[in-house]
Structure 1
Amino acid sequence: MAESRHSLFHQFAASDWDGFLKGVEKEGLRVDANGFIAQTPHPEALGSALTHPRITTDYSEALLELITPVFSSTEAMLASLRDTHRFVQQNLGDEVFWSASMPCEIDGDQSIPIAEYGRSNIGQLKHVYRQGLAVRYGRIMQSIAGAHYNLSLPDSFWHKWQQLTGNQDALKDFKSDQYFWLIRNFRRRSWLLMLLFGASPALDASFVAGVKHDLSRFDERTWYGKHATSLRMGDLGYHNNAQASLNICFNELSTYTRTLDQAIHTNWPAYEAIGTRRNDEFIQINTSVLQIENEYYSAVRPKRTTERAEKPIQALDARGVEYIEVRCLDLDPFSPVGVNRAQIDFLDLFLLDCLLTDSPRIGDDECQRLDDNYKDVVASGRWQELGVCQGGQRVPVGNAARELLDRLQPLADLLDSWGKDETYRSALAAQREKLQGQEWSVPSARVLASMEASGLGHRDWVLALSRQHQETLRSEPLAPDVLADYQRMSRESLAEQKAQEQSDKLPFATFLEEYLRS
């Protein structure tokens, strides 16, 4: 079946292929001059975190999130992301934009300020949701940063693809079905991304103060995983027992939204014991396994742009899947913008092949094997004797990775023949180079090697690298018209937040009740 879908794709002509639509959401902490998490509010020059289209915050007031518009080229997307970084860097004063996924120095939960979004009902809802994350999981886990990659294919592709496959469904249903086809194969192969792009093998000792772990000592204030690729995606990162009980189904849209909806409406005893208020202040949205859909941590999500006050699963059910969000990417600490071109182009190739390869439904047994592969590579991916389960047998991780890369070569050749360049062959070659020789040059290995060469632990090494990136970006002033555009967005976002606050008439408790009832 894999050959048949690939052969169908070969029936496209170069003139039929309009490429990919793509965007990035890149997180990063603001830190003070000593490498401690910033205690200052979101800089006013960056506008309103609630309404700014490109600059917001994630969990913490100190955790910036930079968002690109949708682009049809990697080059244009990265240029936009770099412009946003330049604007941010010009407005941080003495603070530094942290370039690694694992956080700077912290001092327990209370050192991590929860993001504030003003007094509008939507702003308060966002804050209460984050209060809920704090009482459920603690704030420390929420100080981790990453990059999310959003990808879709244009309707010109879907019309042609539907014609070639002979499908007669409504276009929105066909697209949703095909995106879930992609997602199932993504889950089968996501361990490869952790090997190729995992870049968080070490962390500052303050992150695990008082916590039992099995990490090794790097120096007096740094711990690391001997063979780890991504501590961010392991048990010390985005992990909790309540969510481990979920059985979210990624086989098709209807079961995905139904199982998520069940989680939002199923009480969890530990959260019931906490309650939703403390001294008349809301501390979580509800006492369910999930407060809202976004609380579910997964390596990939089907997404649909929501309308004001619309819930993600409502948008998905009403209008189908619009794009795929890859959520498992660590920040590339060696890049001033946290991602790099070869990585993005490879992801396009990787995700397209997930769509073009046979993708049967995933049963419970396979689901467990896929989860085990992912966890094993996160924890021990640089151990070349590690085996991953492929086709019912254990295969050395390096062999399995090279086999997956080899299968992408014909698709890279086809796309480059259409584009008359070397984009995808070069991106594929860059990943192969990481797995050559006795000592792999995957990002997690490069991080540890660079730390060792510098003689610095995690905090001081990342701080030095972050300052280098800051100097680089500050030495590239924005063009006057681009700077004026960012300043306009900041002004307008502040005005929009104020207008929302003035127009809200419902008390927040009533608003929340209606929101939950919807």
Structure 2
Amino acid sequence: MKSFDETLAIFADEESREALRTMQRGIEREALRINADNELALTPHPAILGAALTHSRITTDYSESLMEFITPVYTDVEQMLTGLTETHAYAVQHLDGEKLWPVSMPCYVGDEQQIPISWYGTSNNGIMKRLYRKGLTYRYGALMQIIAGVHFNFSVSDSLWQTLYQHSDKQTSLCDFISEHYFGLIRNYRRLVWVLPYLFGASPAICRSFIKDQQTELQFLTHSSGTLYLPWSTSLRMSDLGYTNKEQEKLSISYNSLQEYLEGIKAAIKMPSKKFADIGVKVDGEYRQLNANILQIENEFYAPIRAKRVTRRGEKPSEALSRAGVQYIEVRALDVNPFSPVGIDAAQVRFLDLFLLYCLMQPSAKVDALGEKEIAANLKAVVLEGRKPGLMLTRSDKAISLQQWLKELFADLSRIAALIDGEDKLYQHTLDDWYQAVENPEMTLSGRIWQTLENSGLDHGTWVRQLAEKYHRQLVDYPLSSASVASFEAEAAASIAQQNQMEQDDKLDFEQFLAEYFRADTKVDEPVH
């Protein structure tokens, strides 16, 4: 594989640089609905917004209360964020006074048993989506499932792939070349994933109400009434307290190739779990979960990044990857940014562009068991102590300070910025801004949150409530064009009609449908492209 310098040299001409700067992106932002008392809203997903099962932009995740806002694919950063803002605004303007909780970690949750699981209608697909979530409740509890995040979908242009392929040895097909290099990106991302909670981690403190009776090894301190924290933490959402799955530690899913990854996923779906078997699958005639395996379905595999391809109707994610290879990657290690009304801002997106291009261009050795331990240890250290002065990490089995590693990374990112920047130097300015957080951890998102709490004297919950009110007013007052409103209304109506049609078209009863779904051949063939 070419060195980083050799790959950069490919982009000496303007045509190649244009191929490099033409990136496709999309965002999925989750947010809990809260009521007038600032508690979790227990009301159904508003019918006026359409059917959560089939709407492409406004849906729900685990809970009826956990909204998800999805953008189409964009090549322009500002247009994408404008589209995301419009979707937020339209939804908020139809929430009947309910607001969105603007951080990742929930607060003011009463009885966990009251958290409403998402409802997707009576089609077999809708029932299965709900049952899968019911299984998550039995397996991990409902509280963990209402932690919100932001997912960033990213791909490079076809012309970039053609450029890179033309400079390769061409020993594989273009499709295999693309998948191989996306998995190289994924491996480098996993080695460097700690960078994202360091810069963008936004859950250094939580409300005491989230802990309730949970057992945790974390030694929390109390900052103010109801606020728990760790002195140097960045992202409690990414800690063992947050969205993790201890059972999945038994899995050894490899990212060393598409084929190994698919084999690992297939094995995981068939791997029985004694712990989950004890829950029962169908008890007294009622389903509790889809099955008793470590993964009910592929979506249950928790990972900070995923290889993706748009699926055809009825196709599983791994089947799509096997059919035609990797199309894009999904970054899943982002906390909700409380300093943005839509949970993410342009400075983060541009940094992610550079970061992911770097992961693509840098040579990417395969990861062995020792490398996996190093990846996990570095991530845990930054999640729990990322702002600690002098924090040391491990790179290729050698100690290195977090700050030194970041300085080296930013130097390489600056070289990529020089290739894709126009006269406005937007990418270099982005790096300059985030470099302040390299020099001073208090300039990270978690550091800024902590300074805000310290300076204001507010407890975490009160501060977030004030933010929720502020963003609610902004989004309620956001001017939507008549064309935009008409588009949302049309999609709401179309999504309801589509769900109704799905319910009418079902020919199998649910038992038969589920049997058919899991009857697929478990053998993993070589991907056919």
- TM normalised by structure 2 equals 0.95
Deviation of the 1:171 alpha carbon: 2.0
Match of 1:455 in 2: 457
Percent identity, aligned pairs only, is 41
Q: After TM superposition, list the pairs within 5 Å mapping 1:196-211 onto structure 2.
A: 196-211=199-214
Deviation of the 1:370 alpha carbon: 1.1
**Counterparts in 2 of 1:10 and 1:369: CA distance versus 1, 3 Å:** farther
2:19 pairs with 1:20? no
Please say which of residues 217-226 and 137-146 is displaced more in the overlay: 217-226
Match of 1:291 in 2: 296
What is the SS of the residue equivalent to 2:344? coil
Match of 2:235 in 1: 230
> What is the alpha-carbon distance in structure 1 between the residues aligned to residue 212 and residue 138 of structure 2?
18
Amino acid at match of 1:89: V
2:476 pairs with 1:471? no
Match of 1:247 in 2: 252
2:78 pairs with 1:71? no
Please say which of residues 110-119 and 322-331 is displaced more in the overlay: 110-119
Instruction: Structure 1: give runs of 5+ residues left out of the alignment.
Output: none
**Counterparts in 2 of 1:279 and 1:72: CA distance versus 1, 3 Å:** same
Match of 1:189 in 2: 192
What is the SS of the residue equivalent to 2:439? coil
Instruction: Structure 2: give runs of 5+ residues left out of the alignment.
Output: 521-529
Q: After TM superposition, list the pairs within 5 Å mapping 1:23-172 onto structure 2.
A: 23-172=26-175
Deviation of the 1:187 alpha carbon: 0.8
Amino acid at match of 2:327: E
Tell me, yes or no, if the aligned pair for 1:242 and 1:289 is still in contact at 8 Å: yes
Match of 2:526 in 1: none
Tell me, yes or no, if the aligned pair for 1:150 and 1:325 is still in contact at 8 Å: yes
> What is the alpha-carbon distance in structure 2 between the residues aligned to residue 262 and residue 296 of structure 1?
12
Deviation of the 1:16 alpha carbon: 4.2
Deviation of the 1:8 alpha carbon: 2.8
What is the SS of the residue equivalent to 2:105? coil
Deviation of the 1:245 alpha carbon: 1.3
**Matched positions, count:** 515
Instruction: Give CA-to-partner distance per residue, 1:417-466, whole Å, 9 cap, x none.
Output: xx3331210111121022334x5211111112212333322222111101
Tell me, yes or no, if the aligned pair for 1:108 and 1:140 is still in contact at 8 Å: no
Deviation of the 1:18 alpha carbon: 5.2
Deviation of the 1:111 alpha carbon: 2.8
2:340 pairs with 1:338? no
- TM normalised by structure 1 equals 0.97
> What is the alpha-carbon distance in structure 2 between the residues aligned to residue 356 and residue 511 of structure 1?
44
**Counterparts in 2 of 1:15 and 1:377: CA distance versus 1, 3 Å:** closer
Instruction: Give CA-to-partner distance per residue, 1:74-111, whole Å, 9 cap, x none.
Output: 11111110110110110111211111000121124213
Amino acid at match of 1:194: P
What is the SS of the residue equivalent to 2:248? helix
> What is the alpha-carbon distance in structure 2 between the residues aligned to residue 405 and residue 15 of structure 1?
22
Tell me, yes or no, if the aligned pair for 2:17 and 2:419 is still in contact at 8 Å: no
> What is the alpha-carbon distance in structure 1 between the residues aligned to residue 253 and residue 328 of structure 2?
19
Tell me, yes or no, if the aligned pair for 2:39 and 2:107 is still in contact at 8 Å: yes
Match of 2:487 in 1: 485
Deviation of the 1:361 alpha carbon: 0.7
> What is the alpha-carbon distance in structure 2 between the residues aligned to residue 110 and residue 188 of structure 1?
38
Amino acid at match of 2:315: E
Tell me, yes or no, if the aligned pair for 2:16 and 2:160 is still in contact at 8 Å: no
Amino acid at match of 2:247: A
Deviation of the 1:338 alpha carbon: 0.4
What value does the CA root-mean-square deviation take over the aligned residues? 1.4
Deviation of the 1:131 alpha carbon: 0.6
Among 274, 285, 305, which residue is 1:280 paired with?
Answer: 285
